[in-house]
Chain A
């Protein structure tokens, strides 16, 4: 990807030079002026350094953003799995021993995926306003998954309604978080 970007910059630079040559009529002067040669060399070096700087910074930040987006997508996937498990249990009207085990694992997986995102954002020193909302909703959501009478009593319609609402809010908050990262 970095090589492709560098090649793109090179092609752009070459096209720009060609355009200048076409627009400004000139004649080759066989005399070589040392001062002009020096000026040309310095200009080329500065150009190459600027190009390297731009490519490195742009691509590093893109990699950072891609990593954070990947982490946010991981949290979103864990959330969907927990939601699916909840929906299955609610539809069956019971929470079996294996449901209990799977739900506790899904809860842990979701919480830890949010934590992994938080740690990655801290490492990147990126402040994301939407994350506080995700964190707060996470607490409310896991309370619906395994709170109340869990696992001794099946989920009630009231809990199912609350879980559905929080699932939507969390999904939207995670999507907004991804947009926020992309806008940075």
Chain B
């Protein structure tokens, strides 16, 4: 089934998490990628997955994302669910920095082979 035919669940980083996404791990600072994964991204992804919906993540409006934050959160999601499952149930909005969408898909593909 194509992603466009499915129901869509929304997640806005700015409205639901923070304006200033932080480092990779919680011990390194506030609003970390790991915190985002554990508290928001993974629970919402599970919800979307159980309904065979697509989780639409709005990345706009923040001060910017470090690769470390994105690798930990989205790569971490791939380590929990496998890259094909994540790529099949996730989509992004990123008008502030359009290449982020490509970058995150790469972190998801590479993240599955990660160790942590």
Residues of A within 8 A of B (CB): 100-101, 104-105, 107-108, 111-112, 114-115, 138-139, 142-143, 145-153
Contacts and interface: CB of A to CB of B under 8 A. Distances in A.
B17 interface: no
A112 B28 contact: no
Contacts of B100: 111
Contact of B97 (A108, A139, A152): A108
Given A104-B63, A147-B71, A112 B24 contact: no
A27 B20 CA distance: 87
B97 A149 contact: no
Contacts of A111: 97, 99-100
A150 B99 contact: no
A146 B100 CA distance: 13
Contacts of B106: 139
Interface residues of B, number: 21
Contacts of A114: 99
Contacts of A152: 23-25, 28-29
12 contacts: A108-B96, A114-B99, A115-B99, A138-B99, A139-B102, A147-B66, A147-B68, A149-B24, A151-B66, A152-B23, A152-B25, A152-B29
B28 A143 contact: no
Interface string B76-116: 00000000000000000000111110110010000000000
A149 B99 contact: no
Interface of B: 22-25, 28-29, 63-68, 71, 96-100, 102-103, 106
The 7 closest A-B pairs by CB, nearest first: A104-B64, A152-B28, A147-B67, A146-B66, A152-B23, A111-B99, A146-B67
B64 A150 contact: no
A108 B21 CA distance: 14
Contacts of A150: 23-24, 66-68
Contacts of A149: 23-24, 28, 68
Contacts of B68: 146-151
A143 B75 CA distance: 13
A64 to B, nearest CB: 23
Nearest to A104: B64
Contacts of B25: 152
Given A115-B99, A149-B23, A150-B24, 18 more contacts: A101-B63, A104-B66, A105-B64, A111-B97, A111-B99, A114-B99, A139-B106, A143-B67, A146-B67, A146-B68, A147-B67, A147-B68, A150-B68, A151-B23, A151-B29, A152-B23, A152-B28, A152-B29
